[in-house]
Chain A
């Protein structure tokens, strides 16, 4: 639980290649990366059980955790779960519904994101929801908040307890390329401030930046969607990616763009073994 206060511009960055060999994304295998990434955090935060990393900054800072626990007494995301359930149960104009697309019900988190070899792309849960709508003659929903986020809240809630298990299929060059693209994005410096995701969420995790304590990148994909008090509503993972890009004055990619889907693919793989616990509340 480090409490060093650092100005954003002076965040120290030790050679990234020494933590996860990222100079050349293809130099290490996904399995090796997973091992390196996970042990980086378990060593940096000894005493924090692996599953706790699904709780972001609350895994490592007791004071923040106190407020959070009080908020979890009646979390602000609950009405959204209910709304999502209603949406799930409301048939489309053609009489079909989400359960015709998701045959084994709403508890789907464990299946996403995944590589689709035929379409040669990473398929995320939000993407599948909107494709389901469009296949049934409905308009797609907005990616970052609103009804889609509520559906994700319901599906996430029903999936609580499932474990992250993103498999990069062996022998599929396309899948590995997508993974490696996500990985190099994570370690590439971008924006006017020249930061990589890893600069903040690995090297500087646990430190204060302005009014935030940087959360460890491990478990970063498990708690979505998230009700952020700052947003005053529920948002999706790609909304957060966009926000983090903007913080370093880098142009964000579009939600569900190839870039963010690949990033999600890599980052979710890094959380393999950690349970999904979305939706969550954050400050």
Chain B
């Protein structure tokens, strides 16, 4: 019922164009990866430590094949829409960090074999800073970032 009267300005599905080639080989079942909430990653105060806690490595490369969709200026830091997609083959996990938050690691997504590397959520940002996307594929770690300006912070009161 709700669908009928939804405002219809939105372009097709967010997945369009970002469908990655299947690369099932060697995937670990997502349950195994994130059976437990990654305390170390989420409590970490630094981006580097958080990324290491999630990926198990310091070695990452910047990649142009990761697309971060986030507003240039956040309307309200309490609700910053962020989408991350990637055309890298065989993505097994995507993480989203807000570099200037006290605890930068915000969300981590473990993808199944058929899952498209394209996720969206809404995050809080205390102040202006980079939104960082970390993409894991095989044993490689790729990153990208995009600055979001925040005028009304969304972390405190």
A63 CB, min distance to chain B CBs, angstroms: 5
Complex interface residues of chain A between 60 and 90 (CB less than 8 A to chain B): 63-64, 66-73, 78, 81
Task: Give every chain B residue within 8 A of A128 (Cβ-Cβ).
Answer: none
Question: Known interface pairs A69-B10, A81-B2, A161-B5. Does A63 touch B151 (Cβ–Cβ under 8 Å)?
Answer: no
B19 within 8 A of A: no
Prevailing SS type, chain A contact patch: helix
Q: Is the CB of B79 within 8 A of A283?
A: yes
Any B CB within 8 A of the CB of A19: no
Contact status B151-A67, CB under 8 Å: no
> With a CB–CB cut-off of 8 A, which chain A residues contact B152?
211, 230, 283
Contacts of A78 in B (CB 8 A): 2
A33-82: which have CB < 8 Å to B?
A: 63-64, 66-73, 78, 81
- Interface flags for B71-86 (1: CB within 8 Å of A; 0: not) read 1111110111101000
- Taking CB atoms, residues of chain B closer than 8 Å to A157 are 2, 5
CA distance A1 to B120 in the complex (A): 29
A211 with B80, Cβ < 8 A, contacts A63-B71, A73-B10, A73-B120 known: no
Seen from chain B, the residues whose Cβ lies within 8 Å of a Cβ on chain A are 2, 5-7, 9-10, 14, 69, 71-76, 78-81, 83, 120, 122, 151-152
- A contact residues vs B (CB 8 Å cutoff): 63-64, 66-73, 78, 81, 157, 160-161, 211, 229-230, 277, 283
**Extra contacts besides A211-B151, A229-B79 (6): CB < 8 Å:** A70-B81, A72-B9, A160-B5, A229-B75, A229-B78, A230-B78
